[in-house]
Amino acid sequence: MTIATDGAVPPAGTAPTPSRPGTSRRRRNVPTSPARQKLISVASVVGGLLIWELLGRFVVSNSLFLATPLQAMAELARMTASGELQYHVWVSGQEFIYGFLIASIAGIAIGLAMASSRAANAALGPWVAGLYATPIIAIAPLVILWAGIGIWSKVIVVISVVIFPVIINTEAGIRSTDKALVEAIRSFGASRTQLFTKVMLPSALPFILAGLRLGIGRGLIGVVVGELFGARAGVGFVILQSAEVFNMPRLFAGVAVLAAAGIALMALCRAAETKLVPWNRS
Amino acid sequence: MTDKADTKLQIADLTKSFGSLLALDNLNLDVQAGEFIALVGPSGCGKTTLLRILAGLEEPDLGGIWIDGREVAGPGSDRAVVFQADCLLPWRSVWHNTVIGLEINGRLDARNREYAMSLLELVGLKGFEKYYPWQLSGGMRQRVNLARALAVQPEVLLMDEPFSALDAQTREIMQVELLRIWEQGKKTVLFITHQIDEAVFLADKVVVLGRRPGRIREVLPVTLPRPRPLEIKRTAEFGHLVDTIWNLIEQDVRQSISEENARLEIGAD
Ligand SMILES: Nc1ncnc2c1ncn2[C@@H]1O[C@H](COP(=O)(O)OP(=O)(O)OP(=O)(O)O)[C@@H](O)[C@H]1O
Ligand SMILES: [Mg+2]
């Protein structure tokens, strides 16, 4: 996957409208071959890093404000060698994975409940809509206060930011099932349960996956912000600590780790989508 | 006129209204086993409503439906529908779409699998089992739709403008194909269409519905010999039948078009 083909994935919206899967199409009017596109992408990234490196060396040479990519890489190598990096990534990784898994399972379950029961929808709908629109990350300091500076406070923060897009997308996915498909299968005498498992759920799957993908970005932010407000370890903690002592190479090393995690998780998500919803990418 | 024992499908005193709108008014129709019935009529006369009631997707206000003398209510695999729109499940391959009716009825055994496979061959899709709907042309998708309906071995096959979304050539090919497939098993078929020539080409009898509320205006037997090649559409007898039917519904169609326009104009305000 090159960056140039990313237009085919649902937009990462912040509005309570669910991102609609598979509606955008690749533009055809630019006759750039895939190999060329890849080349341009690589050149763009390398060029950007080069400019940054040069700026850091010759323009903003004060190392209290900016570290160059090479300095950050050297710091990363040092931290890896000492095992420090692995430790912090492990802590943050646990916070993210626990939070993300709990939020995914609970979010899908709540979304399904809201889609299949009017009462559940009436009871939960206002909360979900309201909390989704709220920058809920603002409660992070409070969560730290309640749950302490261990990993569980961060898990709670991650859950609170990931769960809402998952609920909303799951519910919208079920609700947007093509009525004609439901009728066609109902005409064979399908029960309500069969309609749900054989039509509505598969039809909602692309939406659910889009919700999970939104959750990845939000979850990473949740981990870092949670750690900024109180932690003993983790990538966000490394960044905060480095900023306090103006250790720029270390700070940028932390940011680079986050960027890498985001890119890797998105790629994983896209691979899962290709595998689970092959019909959605014609 | 015909022997009661041969009646496959009996529609008696069927009445249906939506609020104050009377869609079907006391409709009666007997269909013989193995008969191919085409239903034509102006837009909005209740054809789809009739078919949905037959499929069990809609409840009639009055009257009922009998298949082989048994009254039916609700959907069931003694009837199968081929819808106009593309109603294949996009996440299922051709094969899994074909057998979904069997799957739902818990009848996906070795014998029925084999039968479904033979149906795919019959509709000319052998070798496409693993394809997804988006990889198929419109005509191919409608063939899968047909195979899916036939796979449950229904007593009555219900079709609502199944070819209307296809281009003219594909449509004619599908008409010929449908007849070829129908000749193999002689299912009882109820086929709704807007195209009079399609109705005449396919059917044993063309049932002409009048303008809303839906009532039967006329039942015309089509005596053209079978098997029918496409060239039969150019014969004088064929043209004569088409003209007769067209004259029967022309007035109604004009009125319903002008009503529709009036409604659109009101809506545009
Ligand atoms: N669910 C519904 N609620 C309200 N009115 C309906 C409903 N379904 C159908 N109708 C009305 O009943 C009448 C008959 O509709 P129907 O779809 O059966 O017509 P049709 O003969 O199939 O038309 P066409 O040839 O355009 O497909 C129409 O006036 C339609 O507006
Ligand atoms: Mg109709």
The DSSP string of A2-30 is -GGGGGGSPP---SSSPPPTT------SS
Name the closest-CA residue to atom 16, ligand 1: B46
A203/B100 Cβ within 8 A = no
Collapsing DSSP to helix, strand or coil, B65 comes out as strand
Structural domain of residue B99, as residue ranges? 86-153
Of all residues in chain A, the percent with pLDDT exceeding 70 is 88
Residue B133 within a domain: yes
Same domain, B188 and B62: yes
Question: Within this chain, do residues B56 and B96 fall inside the same structural domain, yes or no?
Answer: no
Residue A147 has a CB neighbour count (10 Å cut-off) of 17
Domains of chain A: 64-280 (1.10.3720.10)
Sign of dihedral through CA atoms A69, A74, A80, A82? negative
Mean pLDDT along residues A20-24: 51
In a domain, B111, yes or no: yes
Q: For the segment A115-163, what is each residue's pLDDT rounded down to a tens digit?
A: 999 999 999 999 999 998 888 888 889 999 999 989 999 999 999 999 9
Work out the pLDDT band at B1, boundaries 50, 70, 90: very low
Q: What is the pLDDT of residue A184?
A: 95
Pair (B216, B170) in one structural domain: yes
Q: Which two tokens stand for residue B192?
A: 């709704």
Which pLDDT score, from 0 to 100, does residue A255 have?
94
Q: Which residues of A touch B190 (CB under 8 A)?
A: none
What is the domain-level CATH number for residue B163? 3.40.50.300
pLDDT of residue B259: 79
Instruction: Find the residue in B nearest to A204 (Cα).
Output: B91
Asked if B34 and B164 sit in the same domain, the reply is yes
Q: For residues B219 and B211, is the Cβ–Cβ distance under 8 A? A: no
* Record: contact A188-B105, CB cut-off 8 A: yes
Q: Are residues B62 and B188 in the same domain?
A: yes
pLDDT tens-place string over residues B230-247: 999 999 999 999 999 999
Identify the domain boundary among B153, B175, B207: B153
* CA atoms within 13 Å, Cβ hemisphere of B201: 23
**B264 in a structural domain:** no
Is B159 in the same domain as B217? yes
* Residue B47 resides in a domain: yes
The pLDDT assigned to A10 comes to: 41
Residue B42 lies in a domain: yes
Contact A187 B81 (CB under 8 A): yes
- Residues in contact with ligand 1 by the CB-under-6-Å rule are B 18, 21, 23, 41, 43-49, 212
Reply yes or no on whether the pLDDT at A247 is more than 60: yes
Could you tell me if B158 and B74 lie in one domain?
A: yes
Q: pLDDT for A183-232, tens place per residue?
A: 999 999 999 999 999 999 999 999 999 999 999 999 999 999 999 998 89
Mutate to test the pocket of ligand 1, among B21, B158, B259 (most ligand atoms within 8 A of CB): B21
Q: Please give the ipTM for the structure prediction.
A: 0.88
Using alpha carbons, list the distances in angstroms from residue B135 to A282, B130, B131, B265. Answer: 8, 10, 6, 40
Distance separating alpha carbons of residues B159 and B145, to the nearest angstrom: 10
pLDDT above 80 (res A15): no
Take atom 22 of ligand 1 and give the residue whose Cα is closest.
B48
Q: Point out which residues pair with B205 in neighbouring strands.
A: B37, B221
Q: How many CB atoms lie within 10 A of CB B178?
A: 25
